[in-house]
Amino acid sequence: MPNAASKTAITPRRDEDFPEWYQQVVRAAELAEPSDVRGCMVIRPWGYGIWENMQRQLDVMFRATGHRNAYFPLFIPLSYFAKEAEHVEGFAKECAVVTHSRLEVDVDGKMKPASALSEPLVVRPTSETIIGASYAKWVQSYRDLPILINQWANVVRWEMRPRLFLRTTEFLWQEGHTVHETEAEARAETKLILDLYERFVRDHLAIPVFIGEKSESERFPGAVQTLSIEAMVQDRKAIQAGTSHFLGQNFSRASGIQFQNREGKEEFGWTTSWGVSARLVGTVVMMHGDDDGVVLPPRIAPTHIAILPITPKEETRATVLETCDKLARELRAVRYADVPIEADVDRRDLGGGTKNWEWIKKGVPLRVEIGPRDLEKNSVEVSRRDQAVKAKESMSMREFVRRAPEILDSIQQNLYEHARKFRDENTRMLDSKKEFYDFFTPKNSEKPEIHGGFGLAHWNGSREVEDQIKNDLKVTIRCIPPAAAGEPGRCIFTGEPSPRRVIWAKAY
Amino acid sequence: MPNAASKTAITPRRDEDFPEWYQQVVRAAELAEPSDVRGCMVIRPWGYGIWENMQRQLDVMFRATGHRNAYFPLFIPLSYFAKEAEHVEGFAKECAVVTHSRLEVDVDGKMKPASALSEPLVVRPTSETIIGASYAKWVQSYRDLPILINQWANVVRWEMRPRLFLRTTEFLWQEGHTVHETEAEARAETKLILDLYERFVRDHLAIPVFIGEKSESERFPGAVQTLSIEAMVQDRKAIQAGTSHFLGQNFSRASGIQFQNREGKEEFGWTTSWGVSARLVGTVVMMHGDDDGVVLPPRIAPTHIAILPITPKEETRATVLETCDKLARELRAVRYADVPIEADVDRRDLGGGTKNWEWIKKGVPLRVEIGPRDLEKNSVEVSRRDQAVKAKESMSMREFVRRAPEILDSIQQNLYEHARKFRDENTRMLDSKKEFYDFFTPKNSEKPEIHGGFGLAHWNGSREVEDQIKNDLKVTIRCIPPAAAGEPGRCIFTGEPSPRRVIWAKAY
């Protein structure tokens, strides 16, 4: 009997304390860890590899829709930043500010900042204003439009209560910034990207989302309209997984992005901005992880298949390792989802059980054991991460190489179906205030962290109601679904008319 | 006769004013431009595309040598940074320092920094100290070694005299940071990476370099040994194109990277660090550019082939465009240097001459014109960027698709051979002080910016001589070639013994 403690290092379980489980899983899988720099994290190779896969796959989608990558400065002069009033107000409370350009040894022998800057620089929390300054130079005529640019970058928003991946002072993201000739084109771009994000998280991260518009209180500072994709993770809270903003002419007016239109008149450009961040890595963990650790959708796994040599006897050791290497080579020659399969032979001099559990915790989609007995039969023992830890299927090596892409694909599909089922089971129509408050209030029998879900309820559109609900239950409107998705009714809080149900949830 | 002014927008020519030519080329090709943020630049899509290709290709090489990417914080607490004395001294004069974490409206209604930090944060100029803090946690035993990690990141070194790509306050780079069990392993890693860099710039950027060790005065602050690759660009100055540092136990001692060795004793790890930056983009421009603009080595060109439809008559327009699209599709199905050929059809509604010149300035390796007459013959007119602007070769479309990879390869080879010849012609053995001073002093007949080159001369190893030469001629030791590369002799300045010739040059 294996020692119970060796089965899993993840304590507590999800149903005991979900937030703590999350922190433990992220560390046990070596995805990331907190750094000593307040609110900042270190992304370890396994976690960064997931992010790199997301980047590569998003880049293909951005490119296919005509976007190109570029890079703009990290620092924003305070005066630029302040050009759009709502914008600066929205970010003022969380800005890292550079005020000096050198260090000097003080009289007491300690290093201190020196050479104060004439104008402080804000470390970008987002780049609308600094990119706008460039666009103002590049755009003269309608012939220069559209501008369709994306940037992969680090941004900084001072964070008092950091959480690995989900909320950190520095974080990695992509931010698209586009300028268009007409309002209709800019609105179409905003929607195009929302749909692209929805497709990306569905097909690559196995995450089903609801899409819709943010209410005014949750809108990006300076935007006319913010669209978002909203995922439900296993404690039934929402994670905002991506946003796409229609900025109207607010930022082009602030930055002077002006062009001569087809009628020869000067006009301000219509801009959009949109982004997803490495928060998606945390979302994947909260979405698919189990009590044994991370479970990765194969399309974004840095390694698809971990090959684990079982070498109990010295005399068969070399042959086992050779066979493992041969299998890895054969697998790498097979493609899955447009890339060669990544197969790693874990040659480390550790116990087989230890290695196996490390890969389980890391969430590698397939583990393959090869020992002396398998050599004789020319077979392998295959374990899928979406099945019970002890489940193994024996198959011939040749069959495994042939079937690997199909098995990976089936894991990807399973994860999606499982997530969709969970979300749908925990999404309710709420038709009265009582039902609403009951849904979002933990019962005695429940763990405080596991209750509620997404509530679809009619709302009169007022900020007062939103504030009251947030205050009472910590529940907010996640998004207002597209018009086509709903029918008119009556606000369950006020009885006033409501054009359609909106989605309510607690959120990260 | 074409208007002389339309031929080239690059003024001055290289032989008139090389530094100014460089600035103009970078902007005319839309690679990059200065930003309003002091010392920072904006990298435009064409320039960023080149950098992305470099990244992708280096990543393959890093991975093949066992390295993985990760990401560490942008901010370094001042106390960390100060742990290695030489290190902090080396960077103190060029550090951006974050001192506040929010903005507040002042009594006079202006935004000002607020919430002073208890400890200032340095925006990383390089990451040895912040990465070392993580490694100290990760390394316990010799079994945890080696650690082989690379990071793609932005870094900041305050710059008073910025030059696009070559020297900017913020720049993009990769920094590798490794820890090893023994000194020999760490030294081997330092050399392995130097060789990797040499191979990368040779095979991918068509840049021949000299390799060697930096003299003490040019060593990385805190390193035991700094190795570098040194390229000669067209004004015969040197560009340090990459460095690889053996850090001994200096940083592991400062950060506490300690492990239990095979004898059960605590020991400090042996570390290395190494990097190349987007400076390589500028180096490529200075290396291969001509009076018409940028000339890109095909392996790093964001677009390999620009297809230019010639549509003089409305009735053939649609067919010409269709044919162009068909050609692009066929080319994209062909691979060159491990990637699909990137072929762009330039459909913009501009004059054919204007479009042609834009692509010349951007340095696209091949331009293909297709007009109504080509349709009849099913042929294309192909122009190579490494040949005269008006040179065109006519060939059947089918032949062009078949031969495209070979033609691209021949351009790549030509650029390398041309650069190597130029470097060798401008590298001299200098056997006396007079010869040395003559070589590095512009004659009346020469443009002040075009003279000299690389001088190979014996040197006694003293800092005084280096300082004198730098003071007199602005010439420095670029590197000390490997021992195998030279024979002993006498210092040409002092007559003292010299183990071998070292490489002298003016440098960027």
Strands A270-277 and A170-180 turn out to be antiparallel
pLDDT for residue A450: 56
Are the C-beta atoms of A19 and A10 separated by less than 8 Å?
Answer: no
| Tens-place pLDDT, residues A452-490 | 899 999 999 999 999 999 999 999 999 999 987 789 999
State yes or no: pLDDT of A8 exceeds 70: no
Query: Do you find a cis peptide bond into B146, omega within 30 degrees of 0?
Result: yes
> Looking at the DSSP assignment, which residues form a beta bridge with residue B275?
B175, B243
Judging contacts by C-beta atoms under 8 Å, the chain B residues touching residue A48 are: 68-71
Q: Which residue of B has its CA nearest to A169?
A: B73
- What percent of chain A is modeled with pLDDT above 90? 86
Query: Which residue spans of chain A are classified as CATH 3.30.110.30?
Result: 427-505
CATH architecture of A427-505: 2-Layer Sandwich (3.30)
Mean pLDDT, chain A, as a whole number? Answer: 94
Q: Tell me: the pLDDT tens digits for B301-318?
A: 999 999 999 988 889 999
Type of residue found at B430: L
Judged against a pLDDT cut of 90, whether residue A331 lies above it is answered with: yes
Residue pLDDT, tens place only, B125-146: 999 999 999 999 999 999 999 9
Q: Kindly state the average pLDDT of the residues B322-341.
A: 96
Could you read off the pLDDT of B177-213 as tens digits, one per residue?
Answer: 999 999 999 999 999 999 999 999 999 999 999 999 9
Question: Least CB-CB distance to B101: which of A42, A71, A158?
Answer: A158
Q: Quick one: pLDDT band at residue A6, thresholds 50, 70, 90? A: very low
- CATH number, domain A301-423: 3.40.50.800
In a mutagenesis test of the A interface, which of B33, B41, B103, B155 is the best target, namely the one with the most A β-carbons within 10 Å? Answer: B103
Q: Give the per-residue pLDDT at A4.
A: 40
Q: Which has the minimum average pLDDT: A15-19, A324-328, A439-443?
A: A439-443
Confidence of residue B2 (pLDDT cuts 50, 70, 90): very low
The answer to whether the Cβ–Cβ distance between A37 and B73 falls below 8 Å is yes
CB contact under 8 A, A123 and B122: no
Q: Please, what's the b/e burial string for B273-309 (b: 16 or more CB within 10 A of its CB; e: otherwise)?
A: bbbbbbbbbbbbbbbbbbebbbbbbbbbbbbbbbbbb
> What is the token pair recorded at B250?
């200096």
| A123/B123 touch (CB, cutoff 8 Å), yes or no | yes
Residues of B in contact with A50 (CB under 8 A): none
Burial of B335 (0-12, 13-18, 19+ CB in 10 A): exposed
The residues with which B178 forms a beta bridge, in sequence order, are: B148, B272
| Domain range B300-411, its CATH number among 3.20.20.150, 3.30.1360.20, 3.40.50.800, 3.20.20.70 | 3.40.50.800
CA distance A219 to A214: 6
Pinpoint the residues of chain B covered by CATH 3.40.50.800: 300-411
* Residues from chain A contacting residue B80 (CB–CB below 8 Å): 36
Model pLDDT, residue A382? 97
Element (H, E) at B104: strand B97-105
Interface confidence (ipTM) of the complex: 0.96
Reduce the secondary structure of A140-184 to three states and give it as a string.
Answer: CEHHHCCEEEEEEEEEECCCCCCECCCECCEEEEEEEEEEECCHH
Q: How far is A470 from chain B (nearest CA, A)?
A: 25
Range(s) of chain B covered by CATH 3.30.930.10: 18-288
Length of chain A: 508
Distance CA B369, CA B309 (A): 6
Do B431 and B492 contact (CB within 8 A), yes or no?
yes
What's the average model confidence in pLDDT over A80-87? 86
**Are the Cβ atoms of A122 and B104 closer than 8 angstroms?**
no
Tell me whether residues A111 and B78 touch, CB distance under 8 A.
yes
- Mean pLDDT is lowest, of A181-195, B80-94, B117-131, for B80-94
Residues sharing a CB contact under 8 Å with residue B484, sequence separation 6 or more, in sequence order: none
Q: What is the mean pLDDT of residues A413-432?
A: 97
- Mean pLDDT (chain B, rounded): 94
What are the pLDDT digits (tens) for A365-421? 999 999 998 888 899 999 999 999 899 999 999 999 999 999 999 999 999 999 999
Does residue B236 register a pLDDT over 80? yes
Kind of pairing, strands A147-156 and A68-69?
parallel
The boundaries of every CATH 3.30.930.10 domain in chain A are 30-288
Give the span between the Cα atoms of A38 and A31, in whole angstroms: 19
Q: What is the mean pLDDT of residues B103-117?
A: 91
DSSP string, A5-57: HHH----S-TTT-HHHHHHHHHHHTTSEEE-SSTT-EEE-HHHHHHHHHHHHH
B486 vs A314: CA distance, rounded Å = 49
pLDDT of res. B349 = 82
* Higher per-residue pLDDT: A376 or B465: B465
pLDDT digits (tens, 9 = 90+) for B8-28: 568 999 999 999 999 999 999
| pLDDT exceeds 70 at position B85 | yes
Q: Given an 8 Å threshold on Cβ–Cβ distance, is B40 in contact with A98?
A: no
> In CATH, what number does A30-288 get?
3.30.930.10
Kindly tell me the burial class for residue A150, based on how many C-beta atoms sit within 10 Å of its own C-beta (0-12, 13-18, 19 or more): buried
pLDDT at position A1, please?
34
Q: Provide, as residue numbers in chain B, all residues whose Cβ is less than 8 Å from the Cβ of A78.
A: 103, 111
The pLDDT of A327-342, averaged and rounded, is 96
Average pLDDT over residues B398-425: 98
Kindly give the pairing relationship between strand A343-345 and strand A305-309: parallel
B chain contacts of residue A44, beta-carbon cutoff 8 Å: 70
- A26-52 pLDDT per residue, tens: 999 999 999 989 899 999 999 999 999
Of B472, B37, B347, which is closest to residue A133 (Cα–Cα)? B37
A3 against B375, higher pLDDT: B375
At A444, the pLDDT band (50, 70, 90 cuts) reads: low
Identify which of A14, A57, A49 has the alpha carbon closest to the alpha carbon of residue A29: A49
Interatomic CA distance for residues B250 and B264, integer angstroms: 22
Q: How far is CA B113 from the centre of its chain?
A: 36
Query: How many residue contacts between A and B have a Cβ separation below 8 Å?
Result: 185
Domain B18-288: which CATH class? alpha beta
Residue numbers in A near B78 (CB within 8 A): 103, 111
The answer to whether the CB atoms of A69 and B78 lie below 8 A apart is no
Task: Please choose, from the candidates B300, B305, B280, the residue with its C-alpha nearest in 3D space to the C-alpha of residue B56.
Answer: B300
Minimal-distance CA residue of chain A relative to B117: A96
**Residue closest to A393 by CA, chosen among A429, A366, A360, A423:** A366
Nearest residue of A to residue B44, measured between CA atoms: A70
Bridge partner list, B148: B178
The one-letter amino acid code at B400 reads: F
pLDDT at B376: 87
Give how far A339 is from chain B: nearest CA, Å: 13
